[in-house]
Structure 1
Amino acid sequence: MLFRSWAQVTDPGWPDVARVSDQVGGTHLVVTRHALVRQVLADPVSYRPDNALDAVTAMPVTALRVLAGHRFRLPPTLANNSGASHPRIRAIVADALHPARVAAQRQWLTGLVRDRVTRIGGTLDAGEPVDLHAELAADLPLLVLARLVDLPDASVGAVKEFARAALELFWAPLDADRQLALATEVGRFHRVLRDFAATGGGLAAELRAAGHPADVVVGALFFLLVAGQETTSQFLTLLLHRLAGEPAVRAGLRAGDVTVADVVEEGLRLEPPIVTWRRVAATESTLGGTAVPAGTSLVLWLGRAGRDPAVVEFPDEFRPGQRGSRRHLAFGAGAHRCVGDVLARMEATVVVAEAASLLDGVDVVRAPWCPDNLTFRMPDALVVRRSGAPADRA
């Protein structure tokens, strides 16, 4: 189960807290109940984020040598930082993603999405299949982020490949050959980030000016590119797929009976791109009646916590606006709550408002496939075509 938590989120057999072994015999405490997950996230003293970037599959010496050759380092920066520097680093990043700056991008993004929807609609009308992940969702968050934060001069494809490689390298079950290939990809782009961190403007310059060392600047850029824009593009694809199977919700949007904002929140609750997150117990404690020795690895099942019947009335049904819908933990909670939540919500509301109509009268030819991964779903495609179009066109 540990690496397919997104696929077993509705399994009724899970207790509030359970001990689970991974593929190499390591033991983890999986926490499923909303109140307990929030309790852990809100207590960074008892449950520290230090293991957030520990590779879930121990890397062989060959992969470690490749990373070392690229001078790959990720010191405590944002999600993995329990130290005194965290609030200062977070404040600088939060200012770069300030709600006012995010709001200023809405008109530009709306125009971009509208143009893409028009083009995609024409392709569908011609009877051809369209991959909504590749043609609409995959690069949007990166394009928006680049307007808010100075980024290295690299192609969109190179950044996306790096981000997905990092998500796989640190959070997936892997064999040694795959780890070596991923380490090469991640290490190579990490060198690009390091060069940019030394001279780049915008956020990089602000972090340098505040006295943060080069590794911290690189770490901040790493988090933005990997756990920021990549997860948002994943969510857009997952949400569009869910909406394709919710004709009543789409009808409610058309009629004005359902709000776009409520659709986004219900999507975050039921289709979060990040399904688990990790903490490590700093001291001996008790969680939901279960003893937690110091040093225990905790896996917080965010996806299942969003379906807790103690929080939401219809936990497995897509009902925008229902009681408890907005109490999901898709962005975490506490001191390490996602600093880009406003940006992700803005992007999702624009996509739903402009693109939901594309899903009327279409069939899903190929649903998203998600690989084994402890934390990230990483959908690869969402292919649709007009209902009744010849199947051989797909």
Structure 2
Amino acid sequence: MLFRSWQGPVERPWPDVVSVPDHVGVDHLVVTRHALVRQVLADPETFRPDNALDAMTPIPVGALRVLARHGFRLPPTLANNGGHSHPAIRGIVAEALHPHRVAAQRPWLTAVVRERVGRLGAALDTGHPVDLYADLAADLPLLVLARLVDLPEAPTEVVKEFTRAALELFWAPVDPQRQRVLADVVGRFHAVLREFAATGGGLAADLRTAGQPPDVVVGALFFLLVAGQETTSQFLTLLLHRLTGTPEVIVGLGAGTVAVDDVVEEGLRLEPPIVTWRRVAARDTELAGTPVPEGTSVVLWLARAGRDPEVVAAPEAFVPGQRGSRRHLAFGAGAHRCVGAQLSRLEAAVVVEETAPLLADVTVVRAPWCPDNLSFRMPDAFVVAHR
């Protein structure tokens, strides 16, 4: 379960809190109930975020040497920062992703998506299958992020290789040979980020001006490139795939009886791009009567919390606007709630609105396939064709 917790419906009952070993024999306390997941997220003093970016597969000496050769360091910055510096760093990043700045991207984003959907529709009309991941969703969030935050000059494919390598290196079960390959990809781009952090404008300059050290600037950029675009491209792909299986929702969107925003929220509930997240117990405590010793790794099953029958009326059904739909924890909660939530929502709303008519007459040729990963889905393709 631990590495494929996103897969399939939640069919069998689970305890609210249960100890589960991972692939190397380390026990993790998995929390499944919505109220308990929220409780942990809202208490960063008892359940600290320090382990959020720890590698699930211990990194062997060979891969560590590769990272060291590239000068790789990832200090507490955003998701893994439970210290006093977090609010100041988060505040600067939040300003870069301010809802007003995000909303201003809608006309440009709509034009880009509309043009892409037009090309995809033309290809479908000639009988050719199209890949909605590669040709629509994969790079779109990166393009939007680059309009809000100055980023290093690098080909899109290089950035995407780096971000997916980082997700695999830190959150997947991988063998030592693969870890060395991933460490080289991550390390090489980390060097690019270091150079940009020292001279770049926008967010990097704002962090430098605020007196943040170079490693923090790099860490903020590192995390934004992962959480600020990779997770959104995954969510867009998974949401579009979900819509192809719910034709009544597509009809409702066309008729105006189903709201786009409701579709996005229901998608976040059922297809969250981040299915689990971690915390570590800072002291001896308990959850729902279960002892939690200091140092325990706590895995919060965000995806299952979104299907809690005590919160949502029809946990397994895709019913936009149903009771409890918006109470999902796809963006977390508390002091570390996703700072890019509104950006992700905007992108998803525009993509759903513009792509829904295209989906009304397609069949799935190749559904998204996702590799083993504790927290991220990482779909590789989504191919459709006209019926």
Residue in 1 that maps onto 2:200 = 200
**Partner in structure 2 of residue 251 of structure 1:** 251
**Could you tell me how far apart the structure 2 residues matched to 1:67 and 1:52 are?**
19
Query: Is 2:292 the partner of 1:329?
Result: no
String of CA shifts for 1:132-181, please: whole Å, max 9, x gaps: 00011010100000000000000111000000000000000000000000
Identity %: 74
Measured at CA, do residues 82 and 216 of structure 1 come closer, stay the same or move farther in structure 2, by a change above 3 Å?
Answer: same
**Shift of residue 9, structure 1, vs aligned partner:** 5.2
Question: Which one-letter code corresponds to 1:297 in the other structure?
Answer: S
Q: Following TM superposition, by how much is the alpha carbon of 1:8 offset from its aligned partner in structure 2, in angstroms?
A: 5.1
Q: Secondary structure of the residue that 2:28 maps to in structure 1?
A: strand
User: CA separation in 2, counterparts of 1:47 and 1:386?
Assistant: 49
| 1:242-275 deviation line (CA, Å, top 9, x unaligned) | 0011000011111111000000000000001100
C-alpha displacement of 1:41: 0.2
Distance apart, 1:12 and its partner CA: 1.7
Distance 1:285 1:208 in 2: 39
Shift of residue 228, structure 1, vs aligned partner: 1.8
Q: Could you tell me whether the CA contact under 8 Å between 1:9 and 1:304 is conserved in 2?
A: no
Query: Residue type matched to 2:332 in 1?
Result: G
- C-alpha distance in 2 between matches for 1:328 and 1:220: 26
Deviation at 1:361, TM superposition (A): 1.3
1:390 is matched with which residue?
none
Number of the residue aligned with 1:133: 133
Query: Which letter maps to 1:238?
Result: L
Distance 2:275 2:11 in 1: 14
Q: Distance in 1 between matches of 2:104 and 2:23?
A: 46
- Paired residue secondary structure (1:268): helix
User: Counterpart of 1:276?
Assistant: 276
Instruction: Give the conservation status (yes or no) of the 8 Å contact 2:17–2:29.
Output: yes
Runs of 5+ consecutive residues of structure 2 not aligned to the other structure: none
User: Which residue number corresponds to residue 319 of structure 1?
Assistant: 319
Q: Within 2, Cα distance between the matches of 1:142 and 1:337? A: 20
Residue aligning to 1:366: 366
CA displacement 1:165-206 (0-9 Å, x = unmatched): 000000000000000000000000000000000000000000
Which residue is 1:377 aligned to?
A: 377
User: What displacement does 1:116 show?
Assistant: 0.5
Consecutive unaligned residues of structure 1, counting only runs of 5 or more, are: 388-394
Q: Is the 8 A contact 2:361 2:386 kept in 1?
A: yes
- Distance in 1, Cα, partners of 2:11 & 2:199: 50
Moved runs in structure 1, 4+ residues, more than 2 A? none
Corresponding residue for residue 239 of structure 2 = 239
CA contact (8 A) 2:37 2:301 kept: yes
Deviation at 1:13? Answer: 2.8
Counterpart-to-counterpart distance in 1, 2:99 and 2:332: 18
In the alignment, is the contact (CA less than 8 A) between 1:9 and 1:303 conserved in 2?
no
Task: Name the counterpart of 1:391.
Answer: none
Contact kept, 8 Å, 1:269 with 1:307, in 2: the verdict is: yes
Offset of residue 236 of structure 1: 0.1
2:91 is aligned with what amino acid? A
- Deviation at 1:288? 1.2
Structure-2 residue corresponding to 1:181: 181
* Alignment-derived partner of residue 153 in structure 1: 153
Partner secondary structure for residue 193 of structure 1: helix
| Partners of 1:358 and 1:168 in 2: CA distance | 32
Query: Who is 2:24 aligned against?
Result: 24
State how far apart, in whole Å, the 2-side matches of 1:11 and 1:317 are: 13
How far 1:14 sits from its partner (Å)? 1.4
Counterparts of 1:296 and 1:67, CA distance in 2: 27
RMSD: 0.6
1:312-337 per-position Cα deviation (integer Å, ceiling 9, x unaligned): 00000000000000000000000000
Number of corresponding residues? 387
- Calculate the TM-score normalised by the size of structure 2: 0.99
**What amino acid does structure 1 have at the position aligned with 2:148?**
L
The aligned runs of 1:299-310 (5 Å cut-off) are 299-310=299-310
Separation in structure 2 between the aligned mates of residue 348 and residue 30 of structure 1, nearest angstrom: 29
